[in-house]
Amino acid sequence: MTTNLVPNDSLLTDTPEQGRALAIKLARLIIKATQPDEATRVRLREQYANDAVMLIQIAQVVATEFATIAAANGYWNRKPT
């Protein structure tokens, strides 16, 4: 099956580093689903990569996606509560 929204159709990763990369990817794939035109996305990416407010907002999205991924992965070895 082709997946367009979740690579490998799984939230599980081996490490936090890979979890962060997945969080970035999930955010990008939502933007791709909302704006399928590649040329438009390239133009918009140029905008937000050079705008402080938008960079911070992207960081907010990634933080939110990562919270879910981290929970799915048992925080890659959580300390006992």
- Window 17-76: residues binding its own copies (CB under 8 A): 17, 19-21, 24, 26-27, 29-31, 33-35, 40, 44-45, 47-68, 70-76
Report the 3 state secondary structure along the chain: CCCCCCHHHCCCCCCHHHHHHHHHHHHHHHHHHHCCCHHHHHHHHHHHCCCHHHHHHHHHHHHHHHHHHHHHCHHHCCCCC
Shortest distance (Å) from residue 49 CB to its own copies:
5
Q: Which is nearer to its own copies, 38 or 53 (CB)?
A: 53
Shortest distance (Å) from residue 51 CB to its own copies:
8
